[in-house]
Every structure is written in structure tokens, then in C-alpha cells.
Structure 1
Amino acid sequence: MYEIVKSVIESGRYELSDMLKKINTLWVQNELTEEQKKELEALAREKAIPENSYAGLQEQIDKLYDSISNVTAAISDLTDRVTILEGGEPPAPPEPEEWPEYVQPTGAHDAYNTGDKITYKGQHYICKMDGCVWNPSDYPAGWELVTEEPPEEVHS
């Protein structure tokens, strides 16, 4: 089984998180040793191709996402215009969250890029690559764990 999995990984025709789950399942079923498991996980991360982690219907998803984004923007614009016509003031846009919760990308339109900040399993990470579609557990090399420093004390 080890040779078959290694062959698939070498081909590059796999989705990373799916392959990592399969490797773990084979290990749990005692079809791989601990050393083989670690070797295959490292190789899978090394050989992973981001395009293989996108949904098969990516083009349709991207078009749908764009359409929804356009409709959302139009609704927001119309709501602001009605508010102004009724004598009110449109609400200030919400401030973006500093460390938003990680959301699994579905394709190129929402993949993480260098410098993007996330919260994953209660910890903060900064993306180290463009087009990253993997979480910090599946692909640690794509993320930098940020350790928070306590605020400096002000002495009077």
C-alpha cells in the first residue's frame, strides 16, 4: 500500500487534505508504519499543487461568487441611497476583523495570499505564500504562527 500511495503522490494528482486523511486512515489500519506515515505526509505536502485543491466546478463557482458579490454591492448601495433620501445617514462600513477565523478556500477567488491574517484553532497565523488553499495543520510551511507579545506597560 505504501508504494501505491507514494506513486500517487509522486504523480501530483491529488488534493492535499484528502491525501493526508487517506494516509492517516492507512496508518490507523496498520497498513503503514509510523515512519512511512511521516515520510508520505512530508512528501504529500512537498508535492502538493494548489490547483488540485480547487473544486472541480471552479469556473462556475467563481462566476457565482462574482454575481453574488455584485448583487450584494448593489443592495448595499441602494440601501444607503434610501437611507439618505429618508433623511438619515448611511452606516459606517464595519471595520474588518484583525484576525478573521480561517475559512476553507473553494478556489482561486478566495485562496489566501502572502500577508493574509487568520485565526485557526485559537491561534493567529500569517500566510507565507500566494494562492494558499490549505489550513495551517495540513500545510504548516504556508503559514507563520504569530506569538502575541503582551502590551507594554506604561510607567508614570
Structure 2
Amino acid sequence: MYEIIKSVITSKSYELTDILKKIDAIWLQGTLTDDERMELIDLARTSADPEHSYAPLQKQIDTLYTNMTEMGKTILSLTDRVAKLEGGSITPPETEEYPAWIQPTGAHDAYNAGDKMTYTDGKRYICQMDGCVWGPDVYPAGWKLAE
């Protein structure tokens, strides 16, 4: 059984969590020694292909955010097309030029160069860098006071 599991791992056609559970199940059945189990677990972890394994939570969130943003754009485009076919038009939603500051929780909602916001002090700022998750009071170099 050891050789079969090892050949699956070397093929890199497995999902990491799934293969780890299978290794443990085979070990519990007494088909693998403790050393073989540890060797297979180490090999599985180092050989795992991210395309077949669960990505870290932040990467999953970032991917979902990107997909949702693209879906939103597509929905708006399709809505506009349908409205035009029916003889109307869509009025795009109004957006504030300097919306209120929202503390980012990660890369998926961080501020990027050119983003504008109104900070808690009531002043308006323009972001000077990509991936900024700090306010102007914490990281002044990341923001330029708008005039």
C-alpha cells in the first residue's frame, strides 16, 4: 500500500487534505509503519500542487473578491444591454468621490494608489501606494492630504 500511495503523491494529482486523511486511515488499519506514515505525510506536503489543494484562507477570499467584482461588472453590463433592448437605459449608481474610511482586513479590500477616502478626522486623503491597510495617522507616507 505504501508504494501505491507514494506513486499517487509523486504524480501530484491529489488534494492535500484528502491524501493526508487516506494516509492516516491506512496507517490506522496497520498497513503502514509509523516511519512510512511520516515519510508519506512529509512527501505529500512538500509535493502538493496548489491547483489540486485548498489554498490558504486569505487567497480564497482574495479570489472570491476578484470573482465577485468581475461578476458584478458583468451583471451591470448585461443589465444595461437588456435595458437598451427594451428601449430604456440604466442610470449608474452614484458613488461618493471621497467615501468614508473603512479599515481594510486584508489584501482583498486594501486601498490602492489613487483611491480616495474621508478619514475619521474628517479630512480627505488620496492613497499613494497599492495594498495600503493603514490609516494616515498610522502610516502618513501612504496618504496625501487632498486639497
Calculate the TM-score normalised by the size of structure 2. 0.50
Structural mapping, 1:6-25, within 5 Å: none
* 8 Å CA contact 2:61, 2:108 repeated in 1: no
Query: What is aligned with 2:21?
Result: none
Q: Does 1:111 align with 2:145?
A: no
Deviations 1:16-35 (A, max 9, x none): xxxxxxxxxxxxxxxxxxxx
Deviation at 1:63, TM superposition (A): 1.1
* 8 Å CA contact 2:128, 2:142 repeated in 1: yes
CA distance in 2, matches of 1:128, 1:70: 25
Amino acid at match of 1:98: E
CA gap of 1:89–1:108, structure 2 versus 1, over 3 A, is: same
Amino acid at match of 1:140: P
Relative contact order (C-alpha < 8 Å, sep 6+): which is higher? 1
SS in 2 for 1:68: helix
Structure 1: gaps spanning 5 or more residues:
1-55, 149-156
SS in 2 for 1:90: coil
Query: What is aligned with 2:119?
Result: 120
CA gap of 1:113–1:85, structure 2 versus 1, over 3 A, is: closer
Identity of aligned residues (%): 62
Deviation at 1:87, TM superposition (A): 1.6
Amino acid at match of 1:103: I
Structure 1 segments, 4+ long, off by >4 Å, are: none
CA gap of 1:126–1:85, structure 2 versus 1, over 3 A, is: closer
CA distance in 1, matches of 2:87, 2:68: 29
Structure 2: gaps spanning 5 or more residues:
1-55
CA RMSD of aligned residues (A): 2.4
Deviation at 1:62, TM superposition (A): 0.8
CA distance in 1, matches of 2:144, 2:74: 37
Query: What is aligned with 2:144?
Result: 144
